[in-house]
Amino acid sequence: MYEGCKAGNRGAQERLYRSLASKMLGVCLRYARSTFEAEDMLQTGFIKVFRHIDSYRGVGSFEGWIRRIMVNTAIEMYRANQRGGLTVEMNAVTEDGQQTFSMDELECEDLLKLIQTLPDGYRMVFNMYALEGFSHREIAETLNISEGASKSQLSRARTWLKEKIKQLEGGNYESR
Amino acid sequence: MNPDKNNEFDEQLREKFEGFRPDAPIGLWEKIAAELDEQHPRRRRVPTWWMAVAATIVVVSGIVYWQNRPVSVTYLHAQAEEPVIPAQKATGAVASAAPVDTAELPAEPLDLEKLRHVFAKRERNISDKKRLRVQEPVEQPKGAVFLDSDASPQLASHETEVAPADRSLRPGDTLKKVNTAITAVPPIEPPVVLEEEETMLASSDPAKQPFGVSSILNYVVGTVDQRDEKLVTFSNDEEGSLKLDFNFSLARNKKKRIK
C-alpha cells in the first residue's frame, strides 16, 4: 500500500485513507474545537501525507508517521488561530481527595466534549503531553511558550478534567 | 499533586482514546482526491510567476545600478579638458576667416573715411580705450589684434569706429552700414558652433541605447513569461528614459486561477 501511495496510485491512496481515516479522525477530534474543524484537519493531514510521502524514510511505523503528521497539522492550525486570538487563562481548580476514575462508564464522546471545552492552549498542552507523550521542552518549543507555562497549563487542564469527569461519573451513578 | 496518580490518569485516558474510532465523514475522500488532482497545475504556475517577478527585480536593480555607477567622475575630467581644444580650433578658424574679413573691408573705406572726419577730434582720446577693449577678448577676435598691430590706417579706423557706433554714432546711413560691417564679422564663430552641434548630434546617438536596453529586457521577460500578453513590458518615453508597464489584469486573473 505504501509503495502504491509513493507511486501516486490513486487506488492505493484511497485504501490507505479508508484504513486509517477513522483512527486519525479520533486524534484530530481531541485537538480540534469542533467536529467540523477536526474533519478539516483530517483532510489537510491526508493531503500532506500523500504529497510528502517521499519524506517517510521507513523509520518507525508508517501509521505512526501519519499520526505525527496529523498532530503537526493540528499544531499548525492552532498557531494560525492564535495569531488574532486571545489566550484564555483558566482559573486554578483545587483538587479534592478523589484520585482514581473508572472511566469504563464514560464514552469517548463524553470525554471528547470535555477536552474540546478546554481553552485552546490548555487542550494542546494536555493532548501533547498526556496523550501523545511529548516532553515539556518539546511542547514549549513547538507552541512557543516557556516550559513553566507548559507545566502549569498541563496541571490546570488535568485538574479541571478530573473535576469534570468526577461530576459526570456522579451523574451517571445518580441516574441509575 | 501525586505524579503517579497523574500518570495513571493520563494512561487511562490514553487507553480510552486508543480504541476510539469515530465514523469518518462521508465524501471526504472525494475532496482529498480532487485536491490532489489540482496539485500538478498549481505547481506549474507558481514557479513561473515568481521567476518573472525575480527576473524583473534583478533587471531593474541592474539598470538602477548601471545608471548610478560612479562614471560621472571621469566624465567631469573630460569636460574640463574640452574647452582647450575648441580654443585652438577657434584660432585656426579665425586665421582662416581673416582673409575673408580683409576682402570685405575694401568696400567699406568710403564710409570709414567719412566717419574719420566726423570723429577726428575724439579719435585720439578714445583710441587708448579702444585698444584696451580690443585686447580684452584676446581669444575671440584674433584677427582684430592682427589688424591693429598691422597699423594700417584704414583698418585701424574701422576698428575704432566699431565700438563708437553703438554709443554716439547715430547719423542714419553711416550707422547702418557700420552695423552691417559688425554683423559681417561674426562668421568667425559658426565653424566652432557647427562643430559643437556635430558633437551634440554624435552624443545624441548613444541616447538610442535605452531602446536597446528595453528590447533586451523584453526579451528576458519573454523567455520567462511565454504568454502573448506579458505581465511586465519595458518601453522608452520621448526623453529616452525607461518605462515599466505592469499588466495588472493579468496578475488578477492569475490569482483567481490559483484559488
Query: Distance between CA atoms of B15 and B243, rounded to whole angstroms?
Result: 68
3-state SS of A22-55 is: HHHHHHHHHHCCCHHHHHHHHHHHHHHHHHCHHH
Task: Report the pLDDT value the prediction gives residue B144, as an integer from 0 to 100.
Answer: 43
Task: Report the pLDDT value the prediction gives residue B38, as an integer from 0 to 100.
Answer: 81
Task: Report the pLDDT value the prediction gives residue A176, as an integer from 0 to 100.
Answer: 40
CB-based contacts of B131, cutoff 8 Å, min separation 6: B148
Counting every residue written for chain B, the total comes to: 259
The answer as to whether B221 is a domain residue is: yes
Whether residues B95 and B152 share a domain: the answer is yes
Whether residues B183 and B87 share a domain: the answer is yes
Please tell me the least confidently modeled range out of A111-125, A152-166, B171-185.
Answer: B171-185
A102: part of which helix (H) or strand (E)? Answer: none
Whether residues B178 and B92 share a domain: the answer is yes
* Boundary-marking domain end, from B143, B161, B188: B188
Cβ-contact A9, B5 below 8 angstroms: no
A110: part of which helix (H) or strand (E)? Answer: helix A108-117
Give yes or no for B135 touching A (CB within 8 A).
no
Whether residues B181 and B94 share a domain: the answer is yes
State how far residue B38 is from chain A, nearest Cα, in angstroms. Answer: 11
Task: Report the pLDDT value the prediction gives residue B60, as an integer from 0 to 100.
Answer: 95
- Confidence category of residue A149, pLDDT binned at 50, 70, 90: very high
Cβ burial A113-139 (10 Å sphere, 16+ → b, else e): ebbbebbbbbbbbbbbbbbbebebeeb
Whether residues B136 and B101 share a domain: the answer is yes
Domain of residue B224: give its range.
Answer: 205-259
Whether residues B101 and B153 share a domain: the answer is yes
**Residues A48-100: pLDDT tens digits?**
999 999 888 888 889 999 999 999 999 999 988 877 655 566 665 555 545 55
Q: Closest to A155 (Cβ–Cβ): which among B1, B17, B33?
A: B1
Mean pLDDT score, A1-5 = 78
Cell numbers for B128: 587708448
Verify whether the Cβ–Cβ distance A51 to B36 is below 8 Å: yes
Query: Distance between CA atoms of B236 and A173, rounded to whole angstroms?
Result: 86
* pTM (2 d.p.): 0.48
CB-based contacts of B184, cutoff 8 Å, min separation 6: B101, B104
Residue by residue, DSSP assigns B4-50 as HHHHHHHHHHHHHHHT--PPPPTTHHHHHHHHHHHHHHHHHHHHHHH
Whether residues B175 and B133 share a domain: the answer is yes
Task: Report the pLDDT value the prediction gives residue B75, as an integer from 0 to 100.
Answer: 62
Place of cell 518573472: B52
Say how many Å lie between the first and final Cα of chain B, rounded. Answer: 52
Say how many Å lie between the first and final Cα of chain A, rounded. Answer: 48
Cβ-contact B200, B192 below 8 angstroms: no
Task: Report the pLDDT value the prediction gives residue B53, as an integer from 0 to 100.
Answer: 92
Whether residues B178 and B88 share a domain: the answer is yes
* Boundary-marking domain end, from B137, B154, B188: B188
What is the number of structural domains in chain B? 2
Q: What are phi and psi of B22, to 5 degrees?
A: -70, 155
Whether residues B168 and B258 share a domain: the answer is no
Verify whether the Cβ–Cβ distance A42 to B28 is below 8 Å: yes
The answer as to whether B152 is a domain residue is: yes
Residues of A in contact with B13 (CB under 8 A): 103, 111, 130-131
Please tell me the least confidently modeled range out of A6-15, A142-151, B143-152.
Answer: B143-152
Of A80, A78, A51, which is closest to residue A66 (Cα–Cα)?
A51
Q: What value, to the nearest 5°, has the Cα angle with vertex A63 and ends A60 and A64?
A: 50
Verify whether the Cβ–Cβ distance A13 to B36 is below 8 Å: yes
Q: Closest to A158 (Cβ–Cβ): which among B9, B35, B36?
A: B9
Whether residues B91 and B144 share a domain: the answer is yes
Window 13-52 of B: residues touching A by CB (8 A cutoff) are 13-14, 16-17, 19-25, 28-29, 31-33, 35-36, 39
The answer as to whether B66 is a domain residue is: no
Verify whether the Cβ–Cβ distance A39 to B28 is below 8 Å: yes
* Boundary-marking domain end, from B153, B188, B223: B188
Give me the interface pTM, i.e. the ipTM.
0.80
Of B55, B162, B43, which is closest to residue B101 (Cα–Cα)?
B162
Mean pLDDT score, A99-123 = 80
Query: Distance between CA atoms of A27 and B21, rounded to whole angstroms?
Result: 9
Whether residues B143 and B225 share a domain: the answer is no
Ordered per-residue pLDDT tens for chain B, 259 residues? 567 777 888 888 888 888 888 888 888 999 999 988 886 554 555 567 888 999 999 999 999 999 888 766 666 655 555 555 554 444 444 444 444 444 444 545 556 676 677 667 565 655 555 555 555 444 444 444 444 444 444 444 444 444 444 444 455 555 555 555 555 555 555 555 555 555 555 444 444 444 577 888 888 888 887 777 888 888 877 777 778 888 877 766 655 555 4
Whether residues B168 and B225 share a domain: the answer is no
In chain A, the domains with their CATH numbers are: 1-85 (1.10.1740.10), 88-176 (1.10.10.10)
The answer as to whether B237 is a domain residue is: yes
